[in-house]
Structures are given as C-alpha cells and as structure tokens.
Structure 1
C-alpha cells in the first residue's frame, strides 16, 4: 500500500483519515498478460491505478482493433465515459503484460471526493493532466505527419517503448503498421 499512498501524496496532501479511507476502499488486482479486465458493451465499474505492468484501452471498429491509450506504472486507466456516466460503451481494457493495479469504484471515488477536499484536488489535477494528454494526442493525430506522430509518441511514452507491440503503436497513432515500419526505418 506504500505505492498507493505515495501516488496520492505526490499530488496532494493525504491526512491520516483519508489514508484510512483509501486503504478501506481500494482493491489490489493482478491481471495476466492479455487478460481483458473491461469488456465492451458493459458498464466500466472501476478505475485502475497501475502499480506494475501495462494496460491498454481499445475498441473494435469494422473488425479492426483500434488502440486508444496506454497506462503504465503510476498512471490511471478507465473507460471514462462509461465509468462516469454509468453506461455501457465500446471500449475494452486489457493487460499487455502481467500487471498489478489498484482500483476504486465510482461509488467509492465519489464518497472520497465528497468527504475529503484533498481528494477533490487530486481528482482535479489528475483530470487536468489527462485532458492535456488527450489534447496533445488529438493535435498530433490531426496536424502532424506519420513521422511527427511517431516522434511525439516516442517523446511522450519513452518509458513504454520496448514494451508495446508495434501494431498497437501504429493503431494508436492512426497509421498502418507498414507506414510505422517505414517511419522507423527512416529515423
């Protein structure tokens, strides 16, 4: 639990009563490589903080798997729309490698937000960081060449580069694996 408490402490103060509530409400999971932890067309009931390992979120469009994001150590992963709206959506979440992750339910998260100002601050900061990351990704997808997309990915995700199959990276970038191979060969 030291990892969990350190994660929160890195972002906001964590008084003793909040520590106790966090420890009561979080669950630790171990997911096998390729294990699907959130299925499409179901409500996403938990948000995950990766302790060790790597998760990805993706969807199926016209029988093609499209990667929408990754979460490695010290990062959060959920199907945000489904989680916050409590409705099914098209996203799935799976472990790319053996992964340990803490999770919180929406009910527990809302309780913590309601009862602890520090958790509201934590949520605001984490959501702001996610919004910036998504904005940068959209700008990269819309306004850059395949080479620039890959360079942005390498700069943003250098800590997972050797851990993610190239097909997933190409899918995330919105380019074909062949194009990615050409870009990498020219780099």
Structure 2
C-alpha cells in the first residue's frame, strides 16, 4: 500500500512538472501578451505585500508565493487593488523617475496583458463575466483569466448588460468645463454580443 502511494506521488509530480513547461510567448503590436488556454491554469497564487504601513492604492507592491519567496519584486509596480494574483493583477507601473505611469494588468511572469480601464477612481468592474480593457488606446473585453476575448478595436465600449454591450469605432471625449467630469460622444453606436459579433 505504501509503495503504491509513493508511485502515485511520483507520477503526480512528473505530470505537474510536465504541465509547467514553458511555451513560446505571443505578443501583439503594443508588447501585450496574449494568454493561451495553458496560461489559465493556476500554478499557485501570489500575495501582495508592501513595505509601507498599509497596503493601499499607490503603495509600493511586491508579490510573494506561499513559501514567502519574492516572485515580483518591489520597485516596478504600485498597488492597484489586487491582493491575490491568481490569473492577473491590476498594478500601477512606475516610470523611471519614480512617478506613477500606466495602469496595467500583469501575470505572474510580469507580462503586460492589457491596460486597465479606470472607473470610479479604480479599476473597472467585471460585468457578466467580462471587464473592459485597453490596448494601444482602443477598448475591448477580457475574461477572468486575463485573456482578451473581444479584441481592442473600439474607441469606447460600455459594460455588458443582458448579453449586449454598446460600442463605437469613432468617439470623442468631451470634458466638462465646470468640473473634472467628461462624457463620450459618437455619431454611430452599435451593440455587440459576448463573441464580439455586431448586432444591427
């Protein structure tokens, strides 16, 4: 009985190591990483830590594994609400001068998946299993694994509601002259489904 458990344990370890082999990286024109189905398998979670008193938006952040090994070191990112990195983390990129840069989604290998869409002073929310994202200034949608499943081709995109999202290919952001708010204007809006198909 003990021998069969040992054999089963050894076989399990071999299978896990075989599944963890690396594969070629695919990037898009803006140095964004496209996650494959293999990349959606969780190989362990990473926990956010800071060297400041509190873990709050803008605080320096590093991510450690269950053994407290640093996987993503301090100095490159600031905290943007992701306590536990399973598939991706929302972070703020530090620029070379130490000021804040873009809001990004990264994986545990520090590949940039997409730019974060800001809503209500933080990262956008998931609606019906999808979140709005940006690549090269255009909007699209990603799933919970960080895979961009509806390509970033829209000037502006609203959330999904009842399986449909209102989008436009040509938009203009108009700032309110009395406060910091703005609105999006476009001559042509249309709806898409969760596969990105246009509905007329």
Q: TM-score, normalised by structure 2?
A: 0.23
Q: Which of the two has higher C-alpha Rg?
A: 2
For CA contacts below 8 A with separation 6 or more, give which structure has more relative contact order. Answer: 1
Q: TM-score, normalised by structure 1?
A: 0.24
